[in-house]
Chain A
Amino acid sequence: MELDLFVRYGPALLSGFAVTILCWLVGSFGGLVLGFAIACLYRWGAAPFRWLISTYVEVIRGTPFMIQLFILYYGGPYIGLVLSPIQAGILSFVVYGSPYFSEIFRGGFNAVPTGQIEAARCVGLSEARILRRIILPQMLVPITAPLTNFFIILTKETAILSVVTVPELLYETQTMAAETFTFVEPFLVLSLFYWLMVIGTSWIGGRVEARVTRHLKRAN
């Protein structure tokens, strides 16, 4: 293994890692927010909204990410949507993640017994307060683990952005491999970076879980 390779390609790899982190964080938190909005609209919206949302969820969730990215990046200009690779990457990430997140949230909503919500309405709590005080604290218990799961899945999904020339980690790694005819070193670094992201995500997920399950711990 040649260590001077890393000196030469270190900056490129680090900038690739930064782009990966950027697309991943912005894209997945965007998807999380959009997914929550969709789940709320599905729960409280009128019937036409529900059909629209169901179709959106089925279509986006049912088709591969790479195809969606291609359509957005290469098909977008036909309808006047010209995006830089990074913009296209982030936007497609938000769109791709949102139906998965919305389904996780929908499951969380359903996990709260309806009787509690009816009771809360009877004592005169507003819908916003019911969401904040009764639904959210309880729904976060079953959904934190699936949310962590999906954030982890999305870390690895960022690799696909390299096909539309987003200068992210895999793109830089492949450049390094192609220019130096090395295989082991670049991909070892690649795995290390992804592993760091996954470890970090599952650690944060664990902390969040400890926080949201506080009320379940018995004092004995």
Chain B
Amino acid sequence: MNFSFEVIWQNLPYMLAAARWTLAISIAGMAISIVWGTFLCAARLSKDAFVWRIAALYISFFRGVPLLVQLLMFYYMLPYIGLDLPAILAAILAVGLCSAAYTAEILRGSIQSIPAGQTEAANALGIPAFSLWRRILVPQAIRIGLPSLVNELILLVKVSSLASVVGIGELTRVSQNITGQTYRPLEIFIAAAAIYFVINFVISRLGRLAERRMQVG
């Protein structure tokens, strides 16, 4: 069986349409991951034992349980407590809330490497905690942790393929469907990999751009 570009060419429109779902889930997931991850990180570093224990529990749960299981919980178990989420929302939440645990850990590592003197100076000047985080800690943590954060965002794009199990026609699901019709797995999955590659390449380049802009010294 020869490699047929025609199969790819014919099915590309369907795959690109499906890639829009992949993008939608990824972008919404990234937003949740970064924002919620920052709050989690702050909670994890809190001096209040109750607060940091809750955050640590959250992180160990979301890092420890496979994402597939989390997604199935969101989609099939939440309705039992009266929270019936549409599939797309369940997928976004599962991906975002799980990724936030990883983001929180990345930011925590970065914040630990910021000299403690800065926090002490801010406290001495009477800068409120929120401003301390908003103006001093988070910008530096993001700069230090950026390569790891980009790693995490790229992984997030790839795990968005799990949304197929709750019936969303994203890239991987549609590729499987097309394979079922055409019996051409090699061509279709290479095309799918290429689309994932393009998305991730853009993320990675944006990351590099941000890195250059935030460079100091």
Give B158's nearest chain A residue, CB to CB. Answer: A64
Q: Mark B97-114, 1 if CB is under 8 A from A, else 0.
A: 000001001101110110
**Contact of B197 with A59 in the complex, beta carbons under 8 Å:** yes
C-beta contact mask, B143-179 vs A, less than 8 Å → 1, else 0?
0111110111011001001000000000000000000
A173 close to B (CB within 8 Å): no
For chain A, the count of residues having a C-beta within 8 Å of the partner chain is 43
With contacts A61-B151, A104-B151 taken as known, whether A111 is within 8 angstroms of B113 at the C-beta atoms is yes
Q: A107-B146, A148-B105 are in contact. Are A138 and B154 (CB under 8 A)?
A: no
Once bound together, how far apart are the Cα atoms of A64 and B196, in whole Å? 8
A64 close to B105 (CB less than 8 A):
no
Instruction: Determine whether the beta carbon of B204 is less than 8 Å from that of A107.
Output: no
Query: Which chain A residue has the least Cβ–Cβ distance from B103?
Result: A149
A195 and B63 CA atoms in complex are apart in Å by 9
With contacts A156-B66, A202-B60 taken as known, whether A143 is within 8 angstroms of B197 at the C-beta atoms is no
Interface assignment of B64: CB less than 8 Å from any CB of chain A: yes
A213: interface (CB < 8 Å): yes
Q: In the assembled complex, how far is the CB of residue B188 from the closest CB belonging to chain A, in whole angstroms?
A: 11
Number of A-B contacts (CB under 8 A): 113
Contact partner of A62 (CB less than 8 A), chosen from B106, B146, B201, is B201
| Cβ of B148 to closest chain A Cβ, rounded Å | 4
Contact B147 A107 (CB under 8 A): yes
Total interface residues in chain B, CB < 8 Å: 41
Residue from A62, A110, A141, A150 within 8 A of B204 (CB atoms): A62
B64 touches A199 (CB 8 A): yes
Q: How far is the CA of A99 from the CA of B158 in the complex (A)?
A: 15
Q: Contacts of A124 on B, CB cut-off 8 Å?
A: none
Residues of A within 8 A of B193 (CB): 63-64, 67
Binding site for B on A (CB under 8 A): 57-59, 61-65, 67, 70, 100, 103-104, 106-107, 110-111, 113-115, 138, 141-146, 148-150, 152-153, 156, 191, 194-195, 198-199, 202, 209, 213, 216, 218
Q: List 20 A-B contacts (CB under 8 A).
A: A61-B154, A61-B200, A61-B204, A62-B154, A62-B196, A62-B199, A63-B196, A63-B197, A64-B196, A103-B150, A110-B147, A141-B112, A142-B145, A145-B106, A149-B148, A149-B152, A150-B151, A194-B66, A195-B64, A202-B60
